[in-house]
Amino acid sequence: MTGKQRSFLKKKAHHLDPIFNIGKGGISDNQVEAIDQALEKRELIKIKLLQNVSMDTNEAADFIVEKLKAEFVQAIGSVFTIYRESKEDPKIELPKK
């Protein structure tokens, strides 16, 4: 992903609220599956780490991005944004490379 595309996604994500919270139990298989479905439907989502979680934001983002073959967009504090183009119904058109 280019810097221009990442910047474009940051702007699109600015108004979004986190739709998943990761707590002290860490990231479960059920959460990974739910995040996968949300990415397929929405393409761009935010995830928040609660205060009592044992991993930091970058560790959680890296784990999810690798597991779901998504793209890391940004992390601000305990919230991170990820993107993956929908296989069925792409909605977000990225700027050309």
Residue 35 near residue 45 (C-beta atoms within 8 A) = yes
Domain boundaries, the chain: 3-83
Is pLDDT at 33 greater than 90 in this prediction? yes
d(CA 54, CA 70): 23
Round the average pLDDT of the chain to a whole number and report it. 93
More confident residue, 46 or 52: 46
Domain spanning 3-83: which CATH class is it, in words? alpha beta
Q: What number of CA atoms fall less than 13 Å from residue 52's CA on the CB side?
A: 3
pLDDT of residue 52: 87
pLDDT in tens, 11-27: 999 999 999 999 988 89
Q: Give 38's pLDDT tier (boundaries 50, 70, 90).
A: very high
Percent of the chain whose predicted confidence (pLDDT) is above 70? 100
The reported pTM is 0.92
Mapping DSSP to helix (H, G, I), strand (E, B) and coil, where does residue 33 land?
helix
